Structure 1
Amino acid sequence: MSEETMKDAEKVAKQVGHTLRRIRKERNISLQELAEFTEVSKLTLGKIERGEANPSLTVIWKIANGLSIPISTLLAETQQVAISRKNEGNKVLSTNEELMLEPMFTNAGYGSIETHRAFLKPGGEYYADAHQAGVIEYVTVMEGSVMVQVKNEFYELNTYDSIKFSADQEHGYLNRNSTPAVLHFVMIYTKS
């Protein structure tokens, strides 16, 4: 990992930790209760809250799903006017480091929509657990091509192709090419 990537990871860890602690306190939830809601260990949650652990994308999704919030709530930076430039925002890596997600235009509240830029390495795969009920996912391939798996069905998407599906089921992204794929995600939260 480069020095810049490590600094980004530290920034994300502190942001997620601060926001998680704030939400947990607002809801009057103990770390043990949060561990039960999220299926993330109490020890890991404590380290995340203190900014001592850099949570993977999978862990962030588990926390967001357990709290019934968009993941952008955990990653939000507060600003009145925001420009989202490639490689300048928060970055979250999947556990296997095949997918890098950059949240875009997040807000500090519990918004009902969020957008992300994602970069899937050549030959890379990323599988997501089911998100919370009511999440609709829209994905557009901006560069390259990917296979999108929703349950047991596969859909081939090329540059500028888009797909929409209920994200409260297992799904994944596969880049079978020798070049990176760039994806644009829009998540709509239809239930609060």
Structure 2
Amino acid sequence: MDRTQNNNDAAKLAKQVGETLRGMRRERGLSLQELADITDVSKLTLGNIERGEANPSLSVIWKIANGLKMPISALMNEKQDIILARKNSGNKVISANEACTLEPMFDTTHYGSVEIHRAFLQPHSEYAPGAHQVGVIEYVTVMKGEVHIKIQDEYYHLHEYDSMKFNADQHHAYLNPTDSETVLHFVMTYTKG
């Protein structure tokens, strides 16, 4: 994919996230300042996101989703009746340290109680999303490579096609100890808040 296509994709994602966020904020009757208070994202940044003038990082999207008690896919996925999720063709968001690229695939409802992602973890890197909101259950399967998953102070080593389920409302991180990209498949369930 060339740089022009990446810029077009980033602009499309920024516009979509901004429009969706503005709609959700208004639906909940929140001012920008109230949204800033519950998400720990500055009012200026939120305003730029809503206008499509900023392409938010993965950590900012997580903060917004956690503050609103919703899946990140509700902010990132276009609303469609039939969705075909082909590799490398959907929306992508990259972690601040560029260790992890996340591709939201599907959600089940407008604000979703389930979301599904692909994640691409770079060699010798770590992706630490921190703790999600209370009630989030995370299911992860290694589709290619291997990963160390740290939950609180415990480490779990998963190989290709190994899966794990855990409460994601505690600090956790994904570490790729290999020289190759690791591909993960995530399913996250959310309790109604």
If the length of structure 2 is used for normalisation, what is the TM-score? 0.96
Question: Structure 2 counterpart of 1:63, which letter?
Answer: I
Give the conservation status (yes or no) of the 8 Å contact 2:105–2:115: yes
Superposed displacement of residue 170, structure 1: 1.0
Partner of 1:130: 131
> In the aligned structure 2, how far is the partner of 1:162 from the partner of 1:183?
10
Give the conservation status (yes or no) of the 8 Å contact 2:58–2:96: yes
Task: Name stretches of at least 5 consecutive residues in structure 2 with no aligned partner.
Answer: none
Partner of 2:43: 42
Partner of 1:176: 177
Partner of 2:91: 90
Give the conservation status (yes or no) of the 8 Å contact 1:135–1:190: yes
Correspondence list, 1:104-183, <5 A: 104-106=105-107, 109-183=110-184
Give the conservation status (yes or no) of the 8 Å contact 1:12–1:90: yes
Question: Structure 1 counterpart of 2:15, which letter?
Answer: K
Correspondence list, 1:63-82, <5 A: 63-82=64-83
Name the SS of the counterpart of 1:105 in structure 2.
Answer: strand
Name the SS of the counterpart of 2:107 in structure 1.
Answer: coil
Question: Structure 1 counterpart of 2:159, which letter?
Answer: N
Give the conservation status (yes or no) of the 8 Å contact 1:93–1:101: yes
> In the aligned structure 2, how far is the partner of 1:146 from the partner of 1:137?
15
Question: Structure 1 counterpart of 2:116, which letter?
Answer: T
Superposed displacement of residue 98, structure 1: 1.0
User: Is 1:53 the counterpart of 2:91 in the alignment?
Assistant: no
> In the aligned structure 2, how far is the partner of 1:16 from the partner of 1:107?
18
Give the conservation status (yes or no) of the 8 Å contact 2:107–2:113: no
> In the aligned structure 2, how far is the partner of 1:11 from the partner of 1:97?
20
Question: Structure 2 counterpart of 1:182, which letter?
Answer: V
Superposed displacement of residue 9, structure 1: 1.5
Question: Structure 2 counterpart of 1:48, which letter?
Answer: I
Give the conservation status (yes or no) of the 8 Å contact 2:106–2:115: yes
Superposed displacement of residue 79, structure 1: 1.2
Question: Structure 2 counterpart of 1:3, which letter?
Answer: T
Q: What do you get for the CA RMSD once the two structures are aligned?
A: 1.2
Percent identical residues: 61
Question: Structure 2 counterpart of 1:122, which letter?
Answer: P
Q: Deviations over 1:115-135 (max 9, x none)?
A: 000000111210012111100
Task: Name stretches of at least 5 consecutive residues in structure 1 with no aligned partner.
Answer: none
Superposed displacement of residue 108, structure 1: 6.0
Superposed displacement of residue 164, structure 1: 0.8
Superposed displacement of residue 106, structure 1: 3.0
Q: Give 4+ residue runs of structure 1 displaced > 4 Å after superposition.
A: none
